[in-house]
Chains A and B, each alone.
Chain A
Amino acid sequence: MHNGPRLGSSAATTTVKVRDGERLITDGPFIEAREQLGGIFVLECNDLDEALDWAARCPGATHGVVEVRPVWTS
């Protein structure tokens, strides 16, 4: 196995998307059965703002959405 981080709860999730250059941030996960998970990135960030910044820069954020969750640390 290469890796498998355990994610924080869905309550700790924030969703980011970018439309017309505008950043839209919402509380909670993105639940839409028809959508598919495109991939994951694991980043080391100091705080949520930094993570949201990276999420908004992800190309997928302009047409899909990016969910930001903390990785579980014991």
Chain B
Amino acid sequence: MDELSAHEALAAIFRAEHGRVLARLIGLLGDFDLAEEALADAYAAAAHHWPRDGVPDYPAAWLLTTARRRAIDRIRRARTQVAYLPALAIEMRLSPDDPESTENGDDRLRLFFTCCHPALDQQTQVALTLRCLAGLSTADVARLFLTSEATVSQRIVRAKRKIRETRIPYRVPDRDQLPDRLRAVLAVLYLMFTEGHTATRGGQLVRDELCDESIRLARALRELMPAEPEVTALLALLLLTDARRAARRSATGDLVPLAEQDRSRYDYRTIAEGRYLLSQAIRSAPVNQYAVQAAIAALHAEAPTAADTDWPQIVRLYRILRTVAPSPMVELNHAIAVAEADGPLAGIALLDTLASEATSAKSHLFHAARADLLRRLGRYAEAMAAYDTAIALSANDAERSYLSRRRNQLTEPST
């Protein structure tokens, strides 16, 4: 194995095992920081030994054993520091004849809840989850969110300090707190996916890795909590939406709107999996917002052509969503669905009732939808103005160029 591919292999193993090993370590050590440092030590040792001696049969177990030894070293060195007073207890828990299990699903689940604790702001929750559970480096996280590495690293340092100083617990919340706290975890995965699905900024329409990571994490979470309908519904939603990924952009990276997508490029195996999960998720009442959204995504993904889309059913689902999880985005999508079901005039009427809201006024999606309906009604001057507003508000290059194309087509009588 040449050096480069050895390093790639190591990177792949690190990424695959990171969440599992780190969670187990935090479980054993009871100290977030110490676990991360010890694991970093173990990686360094692996990078030194593995290319020379070969990758061990059980890389995760090797990393865990090494990290534990390094943690003990660190504890001994820090013995004089008061901060490490609980160290003795930790060292006892780490006695060498401890059974060497790398998999403890409970630990990983705890880690989800620590990373997504509501006492941390949501951007931090996302960054921590990607770092600790998906095993992304700080640089990767920064690249995915188009921020500097320094910003992300400062965010993570601050978060870890808060976890330590305020004793954010490392445990699955009690029954009465679980629904709330689980919602925070799901919100992080959902945010991660939507940011990947349509990047809010930059030149690329889709950030594939972010979509992949969020789905991978949602799968892991579902393995850990198979009986939670909201978790199953979220995974269904992500899969049913992601199945359209390839058809959403042209060969040149341009945005292709739903009505013009080549549906033979949808991933039907993913759609089938999403559909199955959705059927599992809707068995239990009350219906949750992710299940409703997944049902809408399924109707889009399964319509043989855009014209065959069951818009009246989609309108009904958006009405349910308005009561389950009201938001300006839901209102906007409801209006768009109404426009498809009952004609653009009905859609415009609904949009006009939303126009006074600050969130709508600032959303490029709102103005883009309005422009599209005005165009279809032949009100070109108003459509032009709405496209201009939408273009000015969007920060994604692919979206902007799509909107500009649409705007410029207004002058051609055939459209």
Using CB atoms and an 8 Å cutoff, list the residues of chain A in contact with chain B: 8-9, 11-12, 14, 23, 25-28, 45-49, 51-52, 68-70, 74
A14 & B166 in contact (Cβ 8 Å cutoff): yes
How far is it, in angstroms, between the C-alpha of A51 and the C-alpha of B169 when the chains are bound? 11
Q: Are B121 and A48 in contact (CB under 8 A)?
A: no
Q: A14-B166, A27-B124 are in contact. Are A48 and B119 (CB under 8 A)?
A: yes
- The answer to whether A28 and B121 have CB atoms under 8 Å apart is yes
List the interface of chain B (C-beta within 8 A of A): 82, 117-121, 124, 158, 161-162, 165-169, 173, 177, 180
For the complex, give the distance between the alpha carbons of A51 and B120 in Å.
Answer: 15
Chain A residues closer than 8 Å to B173, beta-carbon distance = 49
A47 and B169 form a contact (CB under 8 A): yes
Residue of A nearest to B120 (CB): A27
How would you classify the secondary structure of chain A's contact residues: helix, strand, loop or mixed? Answer: mixed
Interface SS majority for chain B: loop
**Cβ distance B29 to chain A, nearest Cβ, rounded Å:** 16
Chain B residues with CB below 8 A from A9, complex form: 165
List 26 A-B pairs, Cβ < 8 Å. Answer: A8-B166, A11-B161, A12-B162, A14-B166, A23-B180, A26-B118, A27-B119, A27-B120, A27-B124, A27-B162, A45-B167, A46-B167, A46-B169, A47-B167, A47-B169, A48-B117, A48-B119, A48-B167, A48-B168, A49-B168, A49-B173, A49-B177, A51-B166, A70-B165, A70-B166, A74-B82
Q: Which one of A26, A45, A46 contacts B121 once the chains associate, using CB atoms below 8 Å?
A: A26
Contacts of B162 in A (CB 8 A): 11-12, 27
Assuming the contacts A47-B168, A49-B177, asked whether A14 and B119 have C-beta atoms less than 8 A apart, the reply is yes
Please indicate the chain B residues that have their CB under 8 angstroms from the CB of A70 in the complex.
165-167
Given A48-B168, A52-B119, decide whether A12 and B180 contact each other with a Cβ distance below 8 A: no
Contacts of A23 in B (CB 8 A): 180
Question: Is there an interface contact between B169 and A48, defined as CB atoms closer than 8 Å?
Answer: yes
A49 touches B121 (CB 8 A): no
Give B150 Cβ to nearest chain A Cβ, in Å: 17
- Determine the distance from Cα of A51 to Cα of B161 in the docked complex, in whole angstroms: 17
Q: Closest approach, in angstroms, between the C-beta of B96 and any C-beta of chain A?
A: 29
Residues of A within 8 A of B121 (CB): 26-28
Is A11 a contact of B177 with CB atoms below 8 Å? no
